[in-house]
Structure 1
Amino acid sequence: MQFIHYASIAKNNIITMSQSNWNRRSVLKSLGLAAVGVPLAGKAIEAETSEINSLPLFKKDKKKLDKPVTAIVCGAGGRGWLAYSSYALKYPDELQIVGVAEPIPYRRERMAKAFNIPEENQFVTWEHVFEKPKFADAIIITTPDDLHYGPAMAGLNLGYDLLLEKAIAQSWSECNDILKLAEKKEAIVAVCHVLRYTSYFRKIKEVIDSGEIGNVVSVQHLEPIGRIHMAHSFVRGNWGNSKKSNPIILSKSCHDTDILRWLVGKPSTKVSSMGSLSVFRKENAPDGSTARCTDGCGVERQCPYSAIKIYKDERGWLHHLQLEEVNDNTITRELKNGPYGRCVYRCDNDVVDHQITNFEFEGGITVAFSMEAHSHYGGRRTRIFCTNGDMIGDEHTLTITNSLTGKQEVWDASKANNNGSGHGGGDHGLVHDFVRAVSFQDPTLLTSTIQASMESHLMGFMAEESRLDNGTVREIKL
């Protein structure tokens, strides 16, 4: 299911420190608006097909936890604040946030007020957390990509379980370091591959594993990022430069390598990849453009990537801007001084804006994966071809056809229980399983443990190696 990013809902639905009566009720009210999924446009399948009963995302367990799992959040941006910690606001009997580390003052204060975090457990950087003895069950690591490795290793050394945002780290060796230490400490490390926890992808997995349309032969998978999303996150934003973050196949598309590996259910053996940065380059800057959209750019009003139009006029994509208050003045200040006001053709970005990657899996199964930035839409499209039928889906509907019987069924993801969280319900689906895994010290309650996530990361690292070597086939060996 396509989802709207939290802070781009509407001009008046931005959560800021200026709100009065900052408490659990007001935060929940805001989150209820900000986290809902929005179905993709398009007609439903016609009447000759039947509708499969919806698959719930998760059912609240009858057996209650003995006590809430306690957690410290390292990184109080969109993922730490809205995606995962909001679960504690809905289910305080299951998760309690007892500490926060965040260098931006208003974000740190926002978390502290929402969860009544004492001053001694409010930290400026992640390093400060580990200067104290262990005082919680888990660490939620939602720092930038280049700051995953440090808190992960420090947390494991002190005996914490981890909820670790993807990508695991910036190199294969760092990923291995975290894995080895987690196994040495017998710690639970959940990687935030949230697509595994959505009703939509769970339904696809259920159909494949049932064998009702035979065995998987091949897969075609498309990730259309969307032009504005690409410009925001992967040109102007935190993930535009691979040295500061990761190649886009890891920072963005490790969701896809992971879900493909999980759905196929067999090891990947070979990869070949090609792609490049075609549009967001200095030589493509139009005549009359300036370094910033606020510098008197002569083509700003006609530019589809105008920061003034996207952030100020439309109030979109504000969740990464450092805005304690949201108004014309504060947005203009950020556009004049921060990274999001830069011309998209004059940034320090180097990640590709289109990439095709072909995988071979054990048994000769082939998978073609395409990441495309230059689309007007989002929401992944997947076609799965099996020996006795096929599936086609767009995160909104999933059509399953049995070629032997001629029976065709359509499953409507919009009718599934997505629990009101982002990524089609996957954000809270992940936290739901994580708190149970930690409470019962049972990693089998998770599908995205670090052990399960390593191979899909290796697929990404090897794909980038292939891309940089003109698409040369690489073998994938764990």
Structure 2
Amino acid sequence: MIRRDFLKTLGVAAAGAAVGLPAAARAAANREFIDGVEPGGSLNNLDLNLRPIKPEVDKQTTIIVIGAGSRGSTYARYAEMFPYALKVVGVSDILEHRCRRTADKHGVPAEHRFGDWSEVFKVPKFADAVIVSTPDDVHYAPCMKALEMGYHVLLEKPVSPTEKECKSILAQAKKYDRIVAVCHVLRYAPYFVALREIVRSGAIGEIVSVQHMEPIQYAHMAHSYVRGNWRNSKLSTPIILAKSCHDLDILRWIIDKPCKTIVADGSLHLFKPENAPEGAPMKCTDGCPHESTCPYSAIDIYTKQKRHLNVFDLDGNKDPDFILQRLKTPPYDSYARCVYHCDNDQPDHYVAEMVFEGGKTAAFSMEAFAPAGGRRTRIMGTMGYIEGDGTRFTLWDFLTRTPKVWDRKVSEIQEYKGAGHGGGDYALERDFVEAVAFNDPGRLSSTIDVSIESHVMGFAAERSRRSGRKEKV
């Protein structure tokens, strides 16, 4: 859709709109928009060609879940919703109760219940595809073996902890002519679909620059990147990939040009032993004298706020005393650790500046110390400006001087009801199921081919952060 046609869809007549506002009026209008005064129109009727998350297939795809934690269980749930299209026929997890829970739910026979991932591939191929949702450092080996044995792969992000391994997976997929979909689910979320479609329409002219911030949220940072699985870059993946490869992917997707150079900085500022308050024990459950005044208290985050409970295998029991008992019991007690006494090394603030082909620039910021999540994006074009917060964005058109807002709630979009990540989880899985059923990777937005580029950007950013030099991508 060209800019003229896009303006028509908004009910705006471009002809005659070039009459300029007085400088004071322009400033006032812009100030009202920036300060958040309700804009004067809606973009909610924009046709995004959103498809239902229900797959359109005439054959059932069979799949093995390797890693039955939070993400693996989420993807397996799609088979419960659409059993005619997807069936879980195998489950692997080193934690027996997680394997049993998912396998029982899907009626997986005993001979197809496995512990370590390697056991899956000791038997002949018995499914169409596998889901690899293991920890980051256990993506590469099962993915490579699955491709070798002829399985298609739904691969949780990030692809792998090293650039070499990422490229090897791409080469393996091509060698065996298999489909690998990377779980860049934000590409499928209606908010980002709408954002990209408006940019592609030419409504803001040519993109010149983008500012994008990912506020992790302080409790989420403490849970995942100080205490949790992604706390140490040597044991998982650098945080720019573990947390923010989604964001690099979205920047590349929206700008739609290759990134040429990147320079990054950031460090671990707060969560270090030297910052521990006097008398703080190794765990919050050890009678810490500061527990009631610490915003990072594990007791507060898990038993009172009841955040991030999926790691505790509660099976629906959210009683505070039960959660507290879990916090005192291995292996869950790792989440009770004092945030100043963990083996973490991930930065709690991270900035990167990117230059894309054609001189377009992007500034990215990842911030731990924010009260809430929700990505913030500003897109500056030659004919307009967009500002959004992850659920709602406003388009300011320089020609018409009329701001328009997009704020459709995913819960109210019939096609996307029940899908996480802003509606993206099951839309991705729909496309993967269809791609496998029809052997057509073109049905996917996030194939391994296109996902590798944003990963390469992340590895370049991390090299720059550590070396202090600008890196070519």
Shift of the 57–145 alpha-carbon distance from structure 1 to 2, 3 Å rule, reads farther
Same amino acid, percent of matched pairs: 49
Query: Which residue of 2 is the match for residue 359 of structure 1?
Result: 354
For 2:388 and 2:216, how far apart are their aligned partners in 1?
Answer: 16
Picking from 455, 458, 461, the partner of 1:460 is 458
Q: What TM-score, normalized to structure 2?
A: 0.88
For 1:421 and 1:50, how far apart are their aligned partners in 2?
Answer: 24
Q: What TM-score, normalized to structure 1?
A: 0.87
Post-superposition CA distance 1:216-266 (Å, at most 9, x none): 100000100000000000000000000110110000000000110011100
Does residue 128 (structure 1) correspond to residue 119 (structure 2)? The answer is yes
Shift of the 451–244 alpha-carbon distance from structure 1 to 2, 3 Å rule, reads same
Shift of the 317–60 alpha-carbon distance from structure 1 to 2, 3 Å rule, reads closer
Report how many residues are paired. Answer: 433
Does residue 331 (structure 1) correspond to residue 323 (structure 2)? The answer is yes
Does residue 49 (structure 1) correspond to residue 49 (structure 2)? The answer is no
Q: Which runs of 5+ in 2 are unaligned?
A: 1-34
Shift of the alpha carbon at 1:66?
2.0
Q: Which piece of structure 1 moves more, 111-120 or 46-55?
A: 46-55
Query: Which residue of 1 is the match for residue 139 of structure 2?
Result: 148
Letter in 2 for 1:346: H
Does residue 75 (structure 1) correspond to residue 70 (structure 2)? The answer is no
Q: Which runs of 5+ in 1 are unaligned?
A: 1-42
For 2:270 and 2:421, how far apart are their aligned partners in 1?
Answer: 28
Letter in 2 for 1:376: P
Letter in 2 for 1:218: S
Letter in 1 for 2:64: I
Query: Which residue of 1 is the match for residue 179 of structure 2?
Result: 188
SS state at 2:284 partner: coil
8 A Cα contact 1:98 1:121, kept in partner? yes
Alignment of structure 1 residues 26-45 onto 2, 5 Å: none
Shift of the alpha carbon at 1:328?
4.6
Alignment of structure 1 residues 226-305 onto 2, 5 Å: 226-305=217-296
Query: Which residue of 1 is the match for residue 448 of structure 2?
Result: 450
SS state at 1:159 partner: coil
SS state at 1:112 partner: helix
8 A Cα contact 1:55 1:416, kept in partner? no
Shift of the alpha carbon at 1:54?
5.6
Query: Which residue of 2 is the match for residue 34 of structure 1?
Result: none
For 2:293 and 2:393, how far apart are their aligned partners in 1?
Answer: 38
Q: Which piece of structure 1 moves more, 194-203 or 86-95?
A: 86-95
8 A Cα contact 1:57 1:199, kept in partner? no
Letter in 1 for 2:114: F
SS state at 1:343 partner: coil
SS state at 2:404 partner: strand
Shift of the alpha carbon at 1:62?
9.8
For 1:50 and 1:236, how far apart are their aligned partners in 2?
Answer: 42
Letter in 2 for 1:143: T
For 2:349 and 2:219, how far apart are their aligned partners in 1?
Answer: 14
For 1:376 and 1:467, how far apart are their aligned partners in 2?
Answer: 26
8 A Cα contact 2:212 2:365, kept in partner? yes
Letter in 1 for 2:148: N
Post-superposition CA distance 1:322-345 (Å, at most 9, x none): 446744554334322421000001
Letter in 2 for 1:436: E
Alignment of structure 1 residues 76-475 onto 2, 5 Å: 76-82=68-74, 84-323=75-314, 326=317, 327-328=319-320, 330-336=322-328, 337=330, 338-414=333-409, 415-417=412-414, 418-470=416-468, 472-475=469-472
Give the aligned CA root-mean-square deviation in angstroms. 1.9
Letter in 2 for 1:400: L
Post-superposition CA distance 1:353-403 (Å, at most 9, x none): 000100000000000000000000110000001111011111121111211
Shift of the 211–314 alpha-carbon distance from structure 1 to 2, 3 Å rule, reads closer
- Structure (1 or 2) with the larger CA radius of gyration: 2
Which one has the bigger helix percentage? 2
SS state at 2:208 partner: strand
8 A Cα contact 1:123 1:129, kept in partner? yes
SS state at 2:400 partner: coil
8 A Cα contact 1:65 1:94, kept in partner? yes
For 2:401 and 2:52, how far apart are their aligned partners in 1?
Answer: 37
Q: Which piece of structure 1 moves more, 389-398 or 368-377?
A: 389-398
Letter in 1 for 2:472: E
For 1:285 and 1:350, how far apart are their aligned partners in 2?
Answer: 15
